[in-house]
Amino acid sequence: MNLFNGTAATAARQNAPVTCRPHCAACCIAPSISSPIPGMPGGKPAGVRCIQLDNHSRCRLFGQPERPPVCVSLRPGPDLCGSDTQDALAILTRLETATRPQARTHG
C-alpha cells in the first residue's frame, strides 16, 4: 500500500487529532522547502533544521502569512508522524526522497 495515498492512511488521518507531538519538529527538519523563509531566503535543504524553530521546537511562523505554503499544507497524523519523532523523521525523509526531482542527464 502506498504510505501517503492509501485509503487506510487517509482514514487514520481523518480520525487522528490534528496536534503536533511536543518537541518533534520532524516536518521542519526532514523536508526541503524551495520557497523563501524569513532568515533562509534560498529556502531550506532537506535534513536541515528550519531557522524558524524556537528552543521548544515550535514554529515561530505558525499562523503567520510568512509561513511557506508547503508548511501550511503539512498536517500531523499517523501517516506522516508515525509513532515517535524518529519514525516521523524516517517517514518524511522517505517522502522527500521519493518526491525529489530526478537529475537530468544530457547526452
Beta bridge partners of 33: 44
72 sits in which H/E element? helix 69-73
Q: What proportions of the chain, in percent to the nearest 5, are helix, strand and coil? A: 35, 5, 60
Give domain status of residue 44, yes or no: yes
How many domains does the structure of the chain reveal? 1
Sign of CA dihedral 14, 50, 52, 58: positive
Q: Can you give the pTM of this predicted structure? A: 0.75
- How much is the average pLDDT of 70-90? 93
Give domain status of residue 36, yes or no: yes
Task: For 57-75, give one letter per residue: b (16+ CB within 10 A) or e.
Answer: bebebeeeeebbeebeeee
Give domain status of residue 11, yes or no: no
Tell me: pLDDT of 7 over 70. no
Q: How confident is the model at residue 1 (pLDDT cuts 50, 70, 90)?
A: very low
* 40 phi/psi in degrees, rounded to 5: -140, 70
* Structural domain that includes position 93: 16-99
Give domain status of residue 58, yes or no: yes
Q: How far apart are CA 86 and CA 51, in angstroms?
A: 20
Q: How far apart are CA 8 and CA 3, in angstroms?
A: 9
Give domain status of residue 5, yes or no: no
Q: Between these two residues, 15 and 89, which has the higher pLDDT value?
A: 89
